[in-house]
């Protein structure tokens, strides 16, 4: 049986999960592919660290060159995480004619073109399935089975930590801070949760999806990104009353020859399939011009689900090596019509404000919205929730408007004598 | 640009959808693959039929040999449907070294091994993505990105007609017959709906999935298959009360070294992702030992979604031709452990019976279930629904039991003086 040799960079959670996935299913993989896949060398930080898998001392190294310069190694699997040194290691591996597999969203989002170009120049394969949806095979589907489609829209719940927090807030009527604390205790959230709760992780994944689906590069700095730290249990309760759930969404959609994209919490209609994606699960919803609506649902993180995706890429490359066809055909341009990226575009919004409980308030505020060309979809005034200053919550669902225009209208309303506070502004899907 | 020539067998709904998918996205496909795909010849029944696509007279033929024996044709796409002559045509095409793509579940389920063997023997590619989930790329995912998994279970809603009927019955409290009639008027159900409503279409798809995922052949005759014609609006209402939705499910699961499989309506817990799959949508839910739970959701039928899947296969083969690698590596056995197929196995059941409204009924019937070793999960007695004979509905949710054992217990209960009628027996997931 032909043996394919793999060099692993990193043996943390995902590295260990990849190792375990291979060991657990070795016989199954061999019987399905006729190939033996061997993890020949592993780059680690600490040679003496105690691990829950059995690796032999001559299998591990602290020197990247032991892997990248080893002519017997076919595939380098990068599972270090972070932009550097991961990106440099991958580029070096590609230059040394190694095929490369990675689960690293930050590195792929930051260096998409460089990595693709290096793979093309060196006629090797570069795969990154695990970098977007963990175990969900979305990249493979977009790159193969769905190629006969032009895509109109992508919607994704691609961060398990924030989806877990929002789900728990929704199900138990809890505050953000309390759920975050429990999530951290249970290991569902990092001690420093910034990259998750501020939407940075999601923006990295959206940037990759946009490159793949729409053929243009949008760096994460250019994607309007908002996390979930300002979502209150009141927002979630009100969303429920209007028929929505609040989800942190990655969105990209074509409007004519423009592309809109953003990472924001959003009101999602309860009957949309993505609304029922709960807790640590992820889902990616795409709309193609032939296939129509399609959703992929699964575990977006975790050692074994991620290991499944990494090993899927390794197997694809291994089979291509065995067939003598381990290279990709690259065409000049992925994009037929060059799309122009315009940021977040127009959206519907939920606005929750505190207003004086006096006659004429609703009329005055509605008139102001109207003057700015903003239509009102629904309104809810909750006099029973009045505070000690006799102020009451007034909630609007507004028709499509740019955020800049909405902010202008809200500034005008804020400066009136009626509204004392704008409590929240959340996009409505 | 290299041109790949395709011969199309059949120009009905799916044939036309495939043709349209290619024309609509031709530029996109060329820019993504660097290849031009041309439909060179089309086999039709009626040359003079009026069509809503423009085909030139020398593009169509009534003679299969014009396609199968044409050395310039690379790929034969079979979209005739039905077992014969489609299977014979595909086998002949494979023997003539044509790659074959099909959307035909009946032919693939009936002749899986023969088609695979012919492809192997002739070193060509055989693809059948559209035969199971329409536009949903489940076959591709199982054959590529998910290869590093052993699968424990598949659950599918793979028939849009029956899912549409059950959804409408649920949402509007309607009877089966009334919804079927409207579905037929709207074109969502065939004039003769047998293959759909009796579960035959689903059994074909399940047989294909079992071959692929579990590596054994189970002909549809051996799959216990029940359709939706006996589901009443009362069953749906009671399911709702117990926290379930009724769905027509294709199920296959490993229990030790045994494989259980069946096509049956089932009570699906409302919080299971598959419960929220409504109307004409399909979904396939798989559980792998690395990737864990994964669900694919989309349009299971329709000209363009099916065209998307067919063209996805055509593009895969075209790219392989361009790389000089248009063949598959075949290994001796797909199955590591040979599974033994045992039919439906043990399941939980919902039983709705009419009983006399007299003291001692519940005790007597529960005792009988106990004597057969059948545990009771929940029970509901509805005295307010008494009929003129003073009989009342008594509803049980029962713990795992074989259907044979359950039938024995129910025969015993039927023969007692208490129960007058067993109204329905439905599996509970």
Closest partner residue to A147 (CB to CB) among B296, B302, B315 is B315
**Are residues A58 and A91 both part of a single domain?**
yes
Contact status, residue B132 vs residue B264, Cβ threshold 8 Å: no
Could you say which of A27, A33, A293 has the minimum Cβ distance to residue B147? A33
> B292, A325: Cβ pair inside 8 Å?
no
pLDDT band per the 50, 70, 90 thresholds, residue B297: very high
Judgement on whether residues A251 and A317 belong to the same structural domain of the protein: no
Surface of B (106-145) touching A: CB under 8 A: 129, 135-137, 140-141, 144-145
| Structure-model confidence comparison of residues A338 and B72, the more confident one | B72
B384, pLDDT greater than 90: no
Q: Are A169 and A275 part of one and the same domain?
A: yes
Nearest residue in chain B measured CA to CA from A306:
B291
A325·B325 Cβ contact <8 A: yes
Contact B309 A145 (CB under 8 A): yes
Tokens of A12: 């943390």
How far is it, in rounded angstroms, from Cα A62 to Cα B353? 70
The confidence score (pLDDT) of residue A226 equals 97
Whether A306 and A260 map to the same domain: the answer is no
Task: Check whether A270 has a pLDDT greater than 60.
Answer: yes
Q: Which residues pair with A356 in a beta bridge?
A: A391
How high does pLDDT run on average in chain A?
95
How many CB atoms are closer than 10 A to CB A366?
A: 16
Looking at the fold, whether B108 and B174 belong to one and the same domain comes out as no
Which pLDDT band, with edges at 50, 70 and 90, does A332 fall under?
low
Please indicate if any CB of chain A lies within 8 Å of the CB of B1: no
Size of interface A-B (CB pairs under 8 A): 218
Is residue B202 a contact partner of residue B327, using CB atoms and an 8 Å limit? no
Tell me whether residues A146 and B312 touch, CB distance under 8 A: yes
A22 assigned to some structural domain: yes
Here the CATH number for the domain that contains residue A376 is 3.30.70.260
Residue B24 forms part of a structural domain: yes
Residue A385 has pLDDT above 90, yes or no: no
Q: Choose the closest CB to B294 out of A25, A297, A315.
A: A297
Residues B364 and B276 grouped into a single domain: no
Selecting among A92, A205, A254, A299, the annotated active-site residue is A205
Q: Answer whether residue A333 shows pLDDT above 70.
A: no
A270/B contact by beta carbon, under 8 A: no
For position A188, which CATH number holds? 3.30.360.10
Task: Assess A27–B contact: CB distance below 8 Å, yes or no.
Answer: yes
Q: Which residues of B are catalytic?
A: 205
Q: How confident is the model at residue A405 (pLDDT cuts 50, 70, 90)?
A: very high
Domain of A37, CATH number, reads 3.40.50.720
Chain B residues with CB-CB distance to A29 below 8 A: 147-148
Residue in the structure block whose two tokens are 């590195």: A107
Strand order in the sheet with A2-9: A60-61, A35-43, A2-9, A75-78, A99-102, A126-127
Q: Which residues of A311-331 are buried (b: 16+ CB within 10 A; e: fewer)?
A: bbbbbbbbbbbebebbbbeee
Of A135, A137, A292, the CB nearest to B135: A292
User: Which residue does chain B place closest to A322, by CA atoms?
Assistant: B329
B21 touches chain A (CB under 8 A): yes
Which among B21, B292, B331 is the nearest to A34, CB-wise?
A: B331
Q: What is the pLDDT of residue A336?
A: 54
Confidence of residue A387 (pLDDT cuts 50, 70, 90): confident
Q: B178-225, pLDDT tens digit by residue?
A: 999 999 998 889 999 999 999 999 999 999 999 999 999 999 999 999
Sequence-distant (≥ 6) Cβ neighbours of residue A49 within 8 angstroms? none
- What is the model's pLDDT at position A335? 53
Contact A292 B304 (CB under 8 A): yes
Query: Within a domain: residue A341?
Result: no
> Is residue B339 included in any domain, yes or no?
no
Please list every residue in chain B whose beta carbon sits closer than 8 Å to the beta carbon of residue A271. 278
C-alpha triplet B121, B127, B129: angle, nearest 5°: 155
Residue A161 and residue A48 in one domain = no
Q: Is A332 left (phi over 0), alpha (psi -120 to 50) or beta?
A: alpha
Residues A94, A120 contacting (CB under 8 angstroms): no
In the predicted model, is pLDDT for residue A136 greater than 60? yes
Among residues B15, B136, B139, the alpha carbon closest in space to that of B86 is found at: B15
Is B332 a member of any domain? no
| Residues paired with A77 in a beta bridge | A8, A101
Q: Which of A164, A192, A165, A160 is nearest to A177 (CA)?
A: A165
Domain assignment present for B417: yes
Cβ of residue A316 closer than 8 Å to a chain B Cβ: yes
Asked whether residue A334 is domain-assigned, the answer is no
pLDDT surpasses 80 at B100: yes
Q: How far is A81 from B367, CA to CA, in rounded Å?
A: 61
Query: Are B292 and A312 an interchain contact pair (Cβ–Cβ within 8 Å)?
Result: no
For B244, other C-beta atoms within 10 Å of its C-beta total 22
Whether this model's ipTM surpasses 0.85 comes out as yes
Neighbours of B171 (CB within 10 A): 12
What is the CB neighbour count within 10 angstroms for residue A65? Answer: 11
Contact by Cβ (8 Å): B27, A337: no
Contact yes or no for B34 and A331 at CB 8 A? yes
Q: Which residue of A has its CA nearest to B286?
A: A298
CA A415 to chain B, closest CA, distance in angstroms equals: 45
Q: Is the pLDDT of residue A384 over 90?
A: no
- From chain A, the residues in CB contact with B171 under 8 A are none
Nearest residue on chain A to B298, alpha-carbon basis: A294
- Selecting from A33, A145, A312 the residue whose C-beta is nearest the C-beta of B331 gives A33
**Mean pLDDT lowest for which of A72-76, A191-195, A386-390, B362-366?**
A386-390
Using CB atoms, pick whichever of A34, A305, A312 lies closest to residue B144: A312
For residue B240, is pLDDT > 90?
yes
Domain match, A279 and A314 both: no
pLDDT band at B160 (very low <50, low <70, confident <90, very high): very high
pTM for this structure?
0.95
Using the beta-carbon criterion (under 8 Å), do B276 and A273 form an inter-chain contact?
yes
DSSP string of A12-27? SHHHHHHHHHHHHTHH
pLDDT of residue A386: 77
Q: Does B149 touch chain A (CB under 8 A)?
A: yes
Domain boundary among A322, A354, A387: A322
If asked whether residues A161 and A243 sit together in one domain, one would say yes
- B123: distance to nearest CA of chain A, Å? 12
Binary contact (B323, A325; C-beta < 8 A): yes
Q: How far apart are CA B119 and CA B170, in angstroms?
A: 45
Q: List the single range of A357-361, A409-413, B38-42 with lowest mean pLDDT.
A: A357-361
Please report whether residue B327 resides in a domain.
Answer: no
CA distance A333 to chain B (A): 6
Residue whose token pair is 């990494």: A310
Which of these three, A288, A322, A356, is where a domain ends? A322
Q: Which of B155, B290, B327, B331 to mutate to test the interface with A (most CBs of A within 10 A)?
A: B290
- What average pLDDT does the segment A270-285 reach? 96
Last residue of a domain, one of A267, A284, A299: A299
**Contact assessment for residue B369 and residue B398, using Cβ atoms and an 8 Å cutoff:** yes
Which residues on A lie below 8 Å from B140 (Cβ)?
140-141, 144-145
Chain B: closest CA distance from residue A129 (Å): 8
Could you report the per-residue pLDDT of B270-296, keeping only the tens digit for each? 999 999 999 999 999 999 999 999 999
CA-closest candidate to residue B248, choices B315, B319, B359, B170: B170
Contacts A131 to B, Cβ<8 Å: none
B67 and B78 Cβ atoms separated by less than 8 Å: no
Query: Smallest CA–CA separation between B270 and chain A, in Å?
Result: 10
- Report, as an integer, the average pLDDT of A9-30: 96
Contact assignment for A33 to B329 by CB distance below 8 Å: yes
Which pLDDT does position A187 carry in this prediction? 86
Q: Provide the domain count of chain B.
A: 3
Q: Which range marks the domain in which residue A405 is found?
A: 346-428
Q: A49: buried, middle or exposed (CB in 10 Å: 19+, 13-18, 0-12)?
A: exposed
Note whether A417 contacts B: Cβ–Cβ < 8 A: no
SS3 assignment, position B159: coil
Mean pLDDT of A365-376: 96
Residues B90 and B178 in one domain: no
Pair A129, A166 in one domain: no
What does the pLDDT read at residue B268? 98
Task: Tell me: pLDDT of B137 over 70.
Answer: yes
Cα separation, A206 vs A252, in Å, equals: 8
Do residues B275 and B167 lie in contact, with contact meaning Cβ atoms separated by under 8 Å?
A: no
Query: Is B287 in the same domain as B316?
Result: no
Q: What is the 3-state secondary structure (H, E, C) of A128-197?
A: CCHHHHCCCCHHHHHHCCCCCCCEEEEEEECCHHHHHHHHHHHHHCCCHHHHHHHHHHHCCCCCCCHHHH
> Per-residue pLDDT for A83 more than 70?
yes
Contact A297 B302 (CB under 8 A): no
Secondary structure E strands in B44-103:
60-61, 75-78, 99-102
Least confident of A380-389, B88-97, B253-262: A380-389
CB distance B255 to B345 below 8 Å? yes
Distance from CA of A244 to the nearest CA of B (A): 15
Average pLDDT over residues A87-104: 98
pLDDT digits 0-9 by tens, A152-174: 999 999 999 999 999 999 999 99
List, in order, residues 6 or more apart from A17 with CB less than 8 Å away. Answer: A302, A303, A304, A305, A306, A307
Contact A334 B31 (CB under 8 A): yes
Q: Would you call A288 an interface residue with chain B, using a CB distance cutoff of 8 Å?
A: yes
For residue A34, the chain B residue with the least C-alpha distance is B331
């Amino acid at each position: 049986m032909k043996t394919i040799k793999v060099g692993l960079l990193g043996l943390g959670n995902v590295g260990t999960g990849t190792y375990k996935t291979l060991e657990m299913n070795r016989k199954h993989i061999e019987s399905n592919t006729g190939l033996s896949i061997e993890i020949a060398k592993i780059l680690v930080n600490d040679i003496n660290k105690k691990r829950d898998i059995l690796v032999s001392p001559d299998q591990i190294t602290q020197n990247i060159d032991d892997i990248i310069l080893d002519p017997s190694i076919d595939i380098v699997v990068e599972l270090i995480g972070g932009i550097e040194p991961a990106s440099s290691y991958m580029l070096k591996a590609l230059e040394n004619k190694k095929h490369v597999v990675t689960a690293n969203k930050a590195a792929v989002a930051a260096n998409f073109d460089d990595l693709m170009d290096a793979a093309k120049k060196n006629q090797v394969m570069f795969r990154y399935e695990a970098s977007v949806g963990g175990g969900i095979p979305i990249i493979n589907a977009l790159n193969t089975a769905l190629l006969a489609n032009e895509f109109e829209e992508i919607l994704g719940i691609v961060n398990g930590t924030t989806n877990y927090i929002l789900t728990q807030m929704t199900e138990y009527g809890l505050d953000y801070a309390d759920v975050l604390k429990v999530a951290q205790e249970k290991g569902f959230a990092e001690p420093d949760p910034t990259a998750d709760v501020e939407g940075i992780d999601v923006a990295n994944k959206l940037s990759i999806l946009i490159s793949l689906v729409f053929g243009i590069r949008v760096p994460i700095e250019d994607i309007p990104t908002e996390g979930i730290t300002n979502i209150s249990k009141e927002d979630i309760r009100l969303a429920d009353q209007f028929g929505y759930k609040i989800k942190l969404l990655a969105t990209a959609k074509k409007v004519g020859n423009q592309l809109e994209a953003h990472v924001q919490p959003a009101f999602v209609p309860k009957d949309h399939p993505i609304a029922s994606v709960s807790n640590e699960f992820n889902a990616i919803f795409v709309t193609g011009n032939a296939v129509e609506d399609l959703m992929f649902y699964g575990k977006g993180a975790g050692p074994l689900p991620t290991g499944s995706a990494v090993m899927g890429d390794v197997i694809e490359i291994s089979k291509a090596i065995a067939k003598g066809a381990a290279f990709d055909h690259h065409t000049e341009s992925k994009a037929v019509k060059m799309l122009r990226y315009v940021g977040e575009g127009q959206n519907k919004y939920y606005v929750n404000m505190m207003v004086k409980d006096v006659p004429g308030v609703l009329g005055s505020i509605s008139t102001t919205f109207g003057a700015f060309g903003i239509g009102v979809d629904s309104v809810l005034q909750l006099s029973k929730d009045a505070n000690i200053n006799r102020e009451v919550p007034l909630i609007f669902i507004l028709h499509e408007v740019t955020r800049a225009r909405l902010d202008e209208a809200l500034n005008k309303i804020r400066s009136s004598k009626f509204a004392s506070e704008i409590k929240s502004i959340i996009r409505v899907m």
